[in-house]
Structures are given as C-alpha cells and as structure tokens.
Structure 1
Amino acid sequence: MSVATLDEGPLRGPSFFLDRAALRALALAHRDGYGTARPHPHVVIDGFLGTPLATGLADIFPGATEASWKRRDHPEQAARLGQLQRKAFEDVPGPLRHLLSEFSGMAFIDFLETLTGVQGLIPDPHFRGAGLHLTLRGGHLALHADFNRDRFRALTRRLTVLYYLNPGWEQAWGGDLELWSSDLSRCETRIAPLLDRLVVMAHGDDHWHGHPTALACPEGRGRAAVAAYFFTAETSPDAPEPHSAIWVTPRS
C-alpha cells in the first residue's frame, strides 16, 4: 500500500496522499523487472493503493450518464468515453480529482524516476489525451503507438501510467491490455484491468498496445481506467548556462 490516510474514512474528502518512502521502496523492488520486461519496458503493480481505497474510488467513478463524457466511435476506438478535462474535471468526485493531482506530484514523479531511470520527468496537468477513461460493452481500442510530443510545451513523451478501477472484473469480459512485439507478429503480454492495478509503460514509436477485442462485460459495466502521461524536456544549444541566485550586494 502506497498511501497515507488522514481520516477514518478514505473517501472523506481528499484525505489520502501517496507515501514517498513507500513508493521509493516499491520502485526499487520493481526497477529491474521494468527494464527487462517484454516486449518493451513496463511493470504491473497490484495493490497499489490498497483494496479499501481502490474500492471507494471505483464506487465513485462516474458512469456513462454521470459526467460530461465525450464519446468516441471510430474504427480505431469505439464506445470509449473520455475528455472530462475539457471542463476541468468539474463533475468528477473530489477524491478522483485528488488522485489525478497526486499522480502529478513530487512523490509519484520520484517513484517513476526511481523505477524507470528516466530523470527530469514532467507531468501534464491538463491531462491531454489522458485523465479518466470508460469503455463500454462492445468497445475496443485498436493496437497503436502513442503520440510522441506535447506540441504545446515542446516536450517528448516518455512514460504512460494506467491505473485500473474495476472490482470483480471477469476474464471472460475481455479488456486485457495487449502489448505486441515491435514487428506486430505476436502479442507478448496481456494485462487484465483489475482493481487497484498500476501499469507503467515506456513510450516508443514501435511500442504497440491496445485492447482490440470488443468488451463483453454486462450492460451497465465498463472498463474504468485513470491515465497519466509524462514527458521530458530536450536540451537546447541556445539554453543559457545554469546559475544559482544572483544577489545584489547592499550598498555601504
């Protein structure tokens, strides 16, 4: 469990915070496995927040009619709801908004840097393309490689984080995240979207992934995920040399 809870009830307002020391220990325990995972660097961590907190977050995850979702129905992706950031997550319950903030905070970024070895990670507070996702029965996400740049900030995409909130998810419903080989010849890894499961994946233009088979979950259920993307800045030959504060000497 990687959180500290400040109140008796884990959902009494934004009352939980990621525990920096616990996350560092978790990162150290998984960093070797992250680097050697196939078909590209990734890690799957179960029990990330603990069942009570994860269950509470799943209970308040907005359903298909409970938020101002934007629905996507295209050949590449169907029956997929997202884009709540268009209204700054205003109709999302506070604890879920707090989780998004924690994913952008110091403790979680330190965790990611220790886990992956990528330094200088920069979160996206606007959650462009990320945030909350809900895929309904019959929905799918075709195999793809993610966008590689934040064009608004001239940053390079480095990591994808997915956190699943699906209590009682059954294997027969599908929805596994599939990671395919770089030549698209085979699926090398399947990751079920189970409650309280965190996935961290390296970005790459040949890091193919998706859940291409239509979901077979019951009507009224959906595949709920929280997504966050992380970037780094590239060095520029025009950048000034770094220096510490320049102090003005008081006149005598």
Structure 2
Amino acid sequence: MTVATLEEGPLRGPSFFLDRTALRAVALAHRDRYGVAKPHPHVVIDGFLGTRLASELASVFPGANDAQWKRRDHVEQAARLGQLQRKAFEDVPGPLRHLLSEFSGMSFIDFLETVTGVQGLIPDPHFRGAGLHLTLRGGHLALHADFNRDRFRALTRRLTVLYYLNPDWQPAWGGDLELWNADLTRCETRISPVLDRLVVMAHGDDHWHGHPSPLDCPEGRGRAAVAAYFYTAEVSTDAPEPHSAIWAPTRP
C-alpha cells in the first residue's frame, strides 16, 4: 500500500526535504487506523519516501565494518549494532544524517501529531537509544517495553518511529517486528522490515515488542533501521502563567 512517493509525496527540492502539506495528507489518510490498531496504537506506512530515495539511503547505510558501531551481545539482544550518536554520527553518510535531521524537524513533528493526536511532541536531537541500528545474521531483540523517560530533560516518552531500509528483504530471513498483547500471551501483529516502511507506535509499559527470533539472512546482509523517539513535557503546577513579550516602557 504505497501512500507517498518521491515524485508525488512528501519530498521536494534539490536535496530532500519533507513537505509539510504532503505529509499532512499522508497523516490524515492513516490517523483513523492508529488509535484502533492492536495490540496497542500504531500505524504502518509503506512507500514513505519513495523507492528511489529509499534505495539511495539503503545503499549508503553503514555496514558492520563501515562505522564505529557499539555491538550488543546479551541474552536480551545479540549481534545488534548501534550507538553511532556517541561520535555524533561522524561516520554516517550525509544523506542519512540529513534524514535524522528531518525526523527532528517541524514538518515531521506536525505529521506525527496529526497521525497520533499527541500534541506538543519534542524530538531528541541526541537520539539517545535511537539513531541507526543494524542487526546481523543470528541477531535478535527480545520482547520488551521501552524506557519511559528522558531523564536528562525530564520528558515523558510518547512515541517510537522506525524506518526500515532493507531492499529485497525475504520473509524467510525473519526480522519481523512483533507486537504482543499486554499479558504476553500472543503476538497480535507482525511487521516485516521492508524497504521504505515507516512504523509509528505509542509508548507504554505494557507495549511489548521486539524481533525475538534470530535473523536468518545471508552473511553480509543485516536488518537496517532508523529509529527516533519523541516526548512531551510534564505539566508543572508551579510553572508561571504564559504571557506574550513584555515591552519596556517608552523612554521620554
């Protein structure tokens, strides 16, 4: 189900910039599905940037030896590479860094707010826990619920965005994002990490998800994803009342 392409969708200009008007149309087309999705609010949007641009981004996505990845090999997650933000994404090609910037920008924030109904969203320019992820053959990510706060900014986690860059991904390789019900008795939704697929999902302490089965992709391939997290500010009872600019008195 392609809802936007490079030629007619949310991109324009000599580079690529998310088009606020086109993104709003995409958001309006999907927002009714978000709140009623099972097992928790989410939406899957295919063809988000268009095949041509998505393929170009996939072609420059860092391989296992192309960046200063931090590798995780634990019971909960194995053969998973990430944490390029530790070096300010210095090894990441410009087009992917530009995509991260666009995911933090006004047009994309407006899109998310329209899709989800959550207002006042705040991106994380540091991409703590997010950014680029690459899972290698045999790797997995156990079912989990995400961390709930940005403790550096006293913000509450509200949304997770995942964008996949895996050309010609085969079902037999596995890697589906699994969404499980609150009591962990069944998987209710499986989402294949295919090229140019965007997933937006709500945060919750019982919003279980992951790709728990080991990847069976060929050697040299991996499950590439771009992740971004979004927050809202907490209401403070002692916050000052809002006001407009206070102008100094005119001097005689």
The two structures have a TM-score, normalised by structure 2, of 0.96
**Alpha-carbon distance between aligned partners in 2 of 1:134 and 1:39, rounded to the nearest angstrom:** 26
1:206-231 Cα distance to aligned partner (Å, 9 max, x none) = 00000000000000000000000000
Give the C-alpha shift of residue 25 in structure 1.
Answer: 0.6
Equivalence map 1:58-137=2 (5 Å): 58-137=58-137
Equivalence map 1:141-152=2 (5 Å): 141-152=141-152
**Alpha-carbon distance between aligned partners in 2 of 1:62 and 1:209, rounded to the nearest angstrom:** 25
**Residue 158 of structure 2: aligned partner:** 158
The answer to whether the Cα contact below 8 Å between 2:11 and 2:49 also exists between their aligned partners in 1 is no
Equivalence map 1:194-233=2 (5 Å): 194-233=194-233
- 3-state SS of 2:100 partner: helix
**Alpha-carbon distance between aligned partners in 1 of 2:16 and 2:205, rounded to the nearest angstrom:** 36
**Alpha-carbon distance between aligned partners in 2 of 1:129 and 1:55, rounded to the nearest angstrom:** 25
1:3 to 5, 10, 17: 10
Give the C-alpha shift of residue 238 in structure 1.
Answer: 1.2
Give the C-alpha shift of residue 59 in structure 1.
Answer: 0.2
- 3-state SS of 1:215 partner: coil
1:57-81 Cα distance to aligned partner (Å, 9 max, x none) = 0000000000000000000000000
Give the C-alpha shift of residue 251 in structure 1.
Answer: 1.5
Give the C-alpha shift of residue 5 in structure 1.
Answer: 3.5
Give the C-alpha shift of residue 126 in structure 1.
Answer: 0.2
**Alpha-carbon distance between aligned partners in 1 of 2:63 and 2:10, rounded to the nearest angstrom:** 25
Give the C-alpha shift of residue 250 in structure 1.
Answer: 1.2
- 3-state SS of 2:168 partner: coil
Give the C-alpha shift of residue 249 in structure 1.
Answer: 1.9
Runs of 4+ in 1 over 4 A off after TM superposition: none
**Alpha-carbon distance between aligned partners in 1 of 2:85 and 2:153, rounded to the nearest angstrom:** 18
RMSD: 0.6
Give the C-alpha shift of residue 6 in structure 1.
Answer: 2.5
Amino acid at match of 2:88: A
**Residue 12 of structure 1: aligned partner:** none
Unaligned runs of 5+ in 2: none
**Alpha-carbon distance between aligned partners in 2 of 1:45 and 1:202, rounded to the nearest angstrom:** 15
The two structures have a TM-score, normalised by structure 1, of 0.96
- 3-state SS of 2:142 partner: strand
- 3-state SS of 1:160 partner: strand
Unaligned runs of 5+ in 1: 8-14
Equivalence map 1:166-185=2 (5 Å): 166-185=166-185
1:130-181 Cα distance to aligned partner (Å, 9 max, x none) = 0000000000000000000000000000000000000000000000000000
**Alpha-carbon distance between aligned partners in 2 of 1:159 and 1:75, rounded to the nearest angstrom:** 26
**Alpha-carbon distance between aligned partners in 1 of 2:235 and 2:179, rounded to the nearest angstrom:** 31
- 3-state SS of 1:169 partner: coil
Identity among equivalent positions (%) equals 83
Give the C-alpha shift of residue 4 in structure 1.
Answer: 2.5
**Alpha-carbon distance between aligned partners in 1 of 2:191 and 2:225, rounded to the nearest angstrom:** 13
The answer to whether the Cα contact below 8 Å between 2:54 and 2:195 also exists between their aligned partners in 1 is yes
**Alpha-carbon distance between aligned partners in 1 of 2:203 and 2:251, rounded to the nearest angstrom:** 54
Does residue 35 (structure 1) correspond to residue 31 (structure 2)? The answer is no
1:25-70 Cα distance to aligned partner (Å, 9 max, x none) = 1111100100100000000000000000000000000000000000
**Residue 17 of structure 1: aligned partner:** 17
**Alpha-carbon distance between aligned partners in 2 of 1:249 and 1:174, rounded to the nearest angstrom:** 68
- 3-state SS of 1:80 partner: strand
